[in-house]
Amino acid sequence: MKQPPLCIEGLSAGYGGKRVIRDIAFAVEPGEIFGLIGLNGVGKTTLIKAILGLAEAEGRISLFGSPAGPPAGRRNLAYLPEKFQPSPLLKGWELLDLTLAYYARKLDRQAALRLCRGLDLDTVALDRGGRTYSKGMGQKLGLLATLVTGLPLLILDEPMSGLDPRARIMLKDRLLEYRDAGNTVFFSSHILADIEEICGRIAVMHGGRVTFVGTPAALTDRFGGANLERAFLAAIDATGP
């Protein structure tokens, strides 16, 4: 039986001795797209940083059955932070080469070009420096650098940020393809329509805790509403502050 790509048990985390999230527990299964949703400031990014060892944390986090703390435990994941902007000193191709070098892998340029077009990023941009990129172009390059790793787990913090509707649709298609290749995607998003469309399961964060884990349909059935957005609002209202 395969180990869960991500398993969290009894996790509390924060900064400077202040707890931002408490008693978090859930597991992400192999080959699924798992969405993390919640209002601003509830601790979504803190949770992701705890997984990556970038926040003070207590509890247990495992990646593919190994402790997440040591760097070796994170060798099978790629991460894209929120509001990614590429280095102004590197061309697009150079950033891709550097990203793959971190994993001792060589870049397949033809595969990268196909994926570039699949994210609605003009391939000519790869020959230009990061200082010439708009916000949306920078986000697409970050997504390209993450997806091209081919690693079994992707962790994406607000990956739709800065993308227009066309690029969002194309990214959703790429994430579904990534899942269908046997990989796992864990991401946070404010865009609940996207979550509802592609996520097999979700976790709702509110008040620094996870208050629901299950399918989008199960959340809607439990709390009512015509769609996930309405059900989410009903869920956090029922939980309280």
Domain boundaries, the chain: 83-151
Q: Averaged over 41-69, what is the pLDDT?
A: 93
Average pLDDT, the chain: 94
Question: In the prediction, which pLDDT does 234 show?
Answer: 94
Residue 237, exposed/middle/buried by CB under 10 A (0-12, 13-18, 19+)?
Answer: exposed
The tens digit of pLDDT for each residue in 63-94 reads: 999 999 888 889 999 999 988 989 999 999 99
Q: Averaged over 142-169, what is the pLDDT?
A: 96
Q: Packing angle between helix 92-102 and helix 135-147, nearest 10 degrees?
A: 30
Q: Averaged over 214-220, what is the pLDDT?
A: 96
Higher local confidence (pLDDT), 16 or 166: 166
Residue 236, SS3? helix
Higher local confidence (pLDDT), 230 or 1: 230
On the question of pLDDT at 222 being above 80, the answer is yes
Question: In the prediction, which pLDDT does 213 show?
Answer: 97
Question: In the prediction, which pLDDT does 190 show?
Answer: 87
Band of residue 1 on the pLDDT scale cut at 50, 70, 90: low
Higher local confidence (pLDDT), 18 or 201: 201
On the question of pLDDT at 17 being above 90, the answer is no
What whole-number distance in Å separates Cα of residue 77 and Cα of residue 150?
A: 9
Q: Could you tell me if residue 69 is left (phi over 0), alpha (psi between -120 and 50 degrees) or otherwise beta?
A: alpha
Q: Quickly list DSSP for 29-56.
A: PTT-EEEEE--TTSSHHHHHHHHTT-SE
Q: pLDDT above 90 covers what percent of the chain?
A: 86
